[in-house]
Structure 1
Amino acid sequence: MIGEHSVDESLLIRAVEHGRVLVTTDTDFLAIAHRWLREMRSFQMIFWPQQAYQNVRVGSSSRPSKISP
């Protein structure tokens, strides 16, 4: 439907609005990222953790991190 986004794309839009990196193991984001790049839309980054990290609890990695310069 015109003007509507998938739940996945809505999450990416929210990450962009807040200047955040999106962390996911959902491979659907790969197609969204490729489409956005073709459309020259920008986003910070989509990070797909390696398989070793897939067993980490979501809450333990979802808190904002402070990055030192």
Structure 2
Amino acid sequence: MEALDEHQRRFPASQLVESREAMRIEALVGIGEREAAQRLATAFRSRFPHSVLLVDISQALREP
């Protein structure tokens, strides 16, 4: 998470913002912060409605 936060601080408008935010969601799920992950996923879907990463995010949120 620290690396993702650092990337966001240094490169807020990076071409990798979509990937970075998807990784953040998956990381939150991985550490058990499912509610926070769900909130970010909702925002992600609004911001990137055609993202190929939506499948990965949905999969991460479905796993127990």
- Do they fold alike, i.e. is TM over 0.5? no
TM-score range, shorter chain: 0.3 to 0.5
TM-score (norm 1): 0.32
Higher percent of residues as helix: 2
TM-score (norm 2): 0.33
